[in-house]
Structure formats: structure tokens, C-alpha cells
Chains A and B, each alone.
Chain A
């Protein structure tokens, strides 16, 4: 039985592709781990540039201006007194969302 709405040139997606997609980063981590086992003077990991000696510029998480202060309770950078008022009165979920944008995924205590 052939239906008129079915596309005759459709190929089913192979199941191997989906499982291979997850394992690519795993393959890369395996290769990196083997490089550490074979000890030699120069390898793939030893050429990386060292961390910089100049102090890093920090930017406010809410507004985007240059931040000079850091809140010890929520670990957010802020630049003004108005922003500080907003930070201290907002619920915990929005503070964690601001932290996730920057990249740190720690959970707040209080």
C-alpha cells in the first residue's frame, strides 16, 4: 500500500549517528588522558599558554558596566548602590540564573 502523502525518497536516520554524537567528546578526553600517561618533555598539553599576570577586568552581572565591588552573600559583581539593593532583595533563583550566565554553577548557601 502506498500513500500519496508519504515521501518516497525519505531515508530513515540511522541509530548509530545518535550514539556517535555523544561519544565524540568522550573520544577526545580519552586521547587527552593517554597523552598524560606517556611521559615526554613536550606533548599536546605542555604547550598551552600560562595564566596571565595582569589583573582581570570584572563587569557587573546586571548592567554590564565595570564592576568594582563583589557581594559576599550571592557572589555577584555590582557597580552601584541601586544595583546592590536589587541584588539583595531578589529571590535565590534569579541570583543563580545570573551566575549561570557567567559560567559558575555553584549553589548558594543561604
Chain B
């Protein structure tokens, strides 16, 4: 009998983010957006939303996540039914990365759904930033690493996590409420105030943000430069001739094109990541929380954490985001420290990290099997901290 205990291909990974879902094991991989789209003209609901789909028709979107927390289970099960089959999952296990300290209601209901509806044999809840630690171990070829510090900027929030010897130090955990979703919403409001009403087009404005925005090294000096210095045009898609828009310089633009003008929004929008007070949010930026969370440790250990800092997440792919952060951390640290920041280049870094975790020795201890669940229920199972 092929079981998940012996066969490595029966251990699946379900990475359920607020923007994308990734599902698979060593051999196969499935990726889609975590949305339900409702077309207004025909009344049709679309559950498997691919990036090849265009926005030529008027659509409304529904999301099961609110601010990074799974709230609506009915919509999520409708999305999962398209690629999860209860008959094929009979001898398999699923590992599910969570954000730190998700509320208890969500986790308890997930145990219900996984064991009763999908008939999974084993279910393993684990922290998402710990999976990045396993990704780092796979890169450097080690079995164990003493000091790591992880900065993870993603769609809903950014997390700063110090990890000592494979265990998370909970006194140093911090969360900033700024992610990629807030940046695209700001760009949407800026453009629809002056030029063109983009309030129902989230995916189009996220494409504009990925194409044209970048992080500047000297913000206050770049804001004093003249008017046409950073100017670029984005030509909107017209669904008869072309399906995707493209960016164009000052010299190549035509008079009759339907264009959007982006001048200084290219700099000011990624600046919200570093200074949240520009919007009015009373929180610290990533450099200040880095030193704030290090101050909860002992003085002699702080230098070792600063030697091993790792950056990951979708937001870190802005051009020159990595140089700006490493410069700021190096400027504010003391002289004895040997600051070293590396960038994990993979977009699916959490997914690759869980694949490495599934092969390791700690996987068997962290699982909850179906026999335990049927005997004890989840009041006794609740002896973990995510």
C-alpha cells in the first residue's frame, strides 16, 4: 500500500495565499489566482482564473481573504474543488503554510474541512516563514543553521522574523500592515483622480505597477528634479488590435494614442513601503522595526543576526529595492557588525521551501493523522503555536 509515510510523491503542498495559490509535489505544480470573477453580461462565474484572461468585459471580483486572513470558507471550497479530488487524496498528506498567529477559529475550521470533506490522511500546519528557513538550508547545503533573520514582503503584509536554530523567537516577531495590495490601490486612486477611471480594474493597475515603478536611492533629492525627468507613457489595451498595453518613452509617443502619464508616481508609490507615515499610517518602516525587534535580544547576539539577513516576497522584485534596504540597514548599524543581506531570487520561495521540509526528518513529528483527530478532536490537538 502506497502511503505518505513511505512514498515522497504522496506528500502534497497547498500554499494558499491572498493573491495566488500554488499546489503540487515534487513532480507537478499548479498555479492560479485566488479569485472568483463574475461576468455581468452573461452571469457566468469563473473559478480557475489564469493570468491569460483579459479584462475586456466588465467583471466583479470576490475574494475569500480579508487582510490576509481566510474569512469565507464557502468561496474558498468552490475554488479548491476544481483541482482537489477527495478520491485521489485518500492516502496523501497536505502541508499548509500559515501566517504567524492566525486566529484559532480559522485553524479549527480548516481541520474540519480537510479531514471530513477532502478525506486527507494527514494534515500538517506550519509557519510560512519557517519554510523560507528550509529554503535557505537547501541553497547553502546545510543541515542546520544557527542565526537567520527573514524579511518577507508580500501581498497583504510584511513580516520580520528572527529564527534561532530552527525555532522562531516570538518576542522579536513584527508585522507591518503594508503590502502589494495597498500599493496598487494607491496607484488606482491617483490615476482615477486626474486621468482615467480605473476603479474596477485591479489587475490592469497591478501590471502597470510592475512595469513602470521603481525605488529611488535618494528620495528627497529626486523629488526636486524638473517635471519631465521621469516621464513615461503607458498605452492602454484596446481589445480589437492589441490585448496588452505597453510602456513608451517621450520620443516615441504619438499624438492620438490613448495614454496614461506617469511622472513622479513611479517613485512615490514604492516609497510607501519605506515610510508609512506618507499615507498617514502610524507604523515604522522596515529598517526601524528591524532594530526595534533586535533590541529584544541580548546585546551580544544582535551582531550575529545582522550577518544573515534574507529578503524574499513579491514586493522585493522592484528594481533597486534590495540595494536601498541593504544600504539603510548598513548605515544605521554599529561599526563592529558585519552586515550581510541576500535576496532569494525565486518567486515561489515558500513553495520550494516546503518541498524541502517534506523530505526532512521533522515532518513525521509535525503531522496530525486522521486517527488522532477521530479519537481526540481538536481540543487536545491544539498544542501548537503557529
Contacts and interface: CB of A to CB of B under 8 A. Distances in A.
Interface stretch (B141-149, B169-177, B246-254, B308-316): B169-177
B280 interface: yes
Given A9-B42, A28-B71, A56-B277, A47 B288 contact: no
Contact of A50 (B72, B170, B283): B283
B107 to A, nearest CB: 11
Contacts of A6: none
Contacts of A27: 66, 71-72
A24 to B, nearest CB: 5
A92 interface: no
A18 B275 CA distance: 37
B38 A57 contact: no
A102 interface: yes
A43 B385 CA distance: 10
A57 B72 CA distance: 39
A50 to B, nearest CB: 6
A24 B69 CA distance: 11
B7 to A, nearest CB: 37
Contact of A47 (B67, B174, B275, B276): B174
Interface string A55-99: 011000000000000000000000000000000000000000000
A12 B288 CA distance: 52
Interface string A1-39: 000000101111100010011001101100110110010
Contact of B283 (A24, A25, A43, A48): A48
Contact of B43 (A11, A20, A28, A103): A11
Contacts of A49: 174-176, 283-284, 289, 292
Contacts, number: 85
B372 to A, nearest CB: 24
Pick the most buried of A48, A52, A56: most chain B CB atoms within 10 A of its CB.
A52
A52 B173 contact: no
A31 B106 CA distance: 9
B300 interface: no
A42 B169 CA distance: 11
B66 A47 contact: no
Contact of B72 (A13, A24, A103): A24
B245 interface: no
Contact of B104 (A11, A38, A57): A38
A32 B347 CA distance: 30
Contact of A34 (B103, B174, B289, B292): B103
B284 A24 contact: no
Contacts of A21: 62
Contacts of B284: 49-53
A21 B277 CA distance: 30
Contacts of A34: 103, 105
A44 B101 CA distance: 5
B112 to A, nearest CB: 16
B102 interface: yes
A103 B283 contact: no
A57 B280 CA distance: 10
A54 B102 CA distance: 31
A49 B283 CA distance: 6
A13 B283 contact: no
B285 interface: yes
Interface of B: 38, 42-44, 62, 66-67, 69, 71-72, 100-106, 170, 173-177, 275-278, 280, 282-285, 288-289, 292, 385
Interface of A: 7, 9-13, 17, 20-21, 24-25, 27-28, 31-32, 34-35, 38, 42-44, 47-54, 56-57, 102-103
Given A11-B43, A49-B174, A52-B283, 20 more contacts: A7-B42, A11-B42, A12-B43, A13-B43, A20-B72, A24-B72, A28-B69, A28-B71, A34-B105, A38-B104, A42-B173, A47-B174, A49-B283, A49-B289, A50-B284, A50-B292, A51-B284, A53-B284, A54-B288, A57-B278
28 contacts: A12-B43, A21-B62, A27-B71, A28-B67, A28-B71, A31-B69, A31-B71, A31-B103, A31-B105, A31-B106, A35-B103, A38-B104, A42-B101, A42-B170, A47-B100, A47-B101, A47-B174, A48-B174, A48-B175, A49-B176, A49-B284, A51-B282, A51-B283, A52-B277, A52-B282, A52-B285, A52-B288, A54-B288
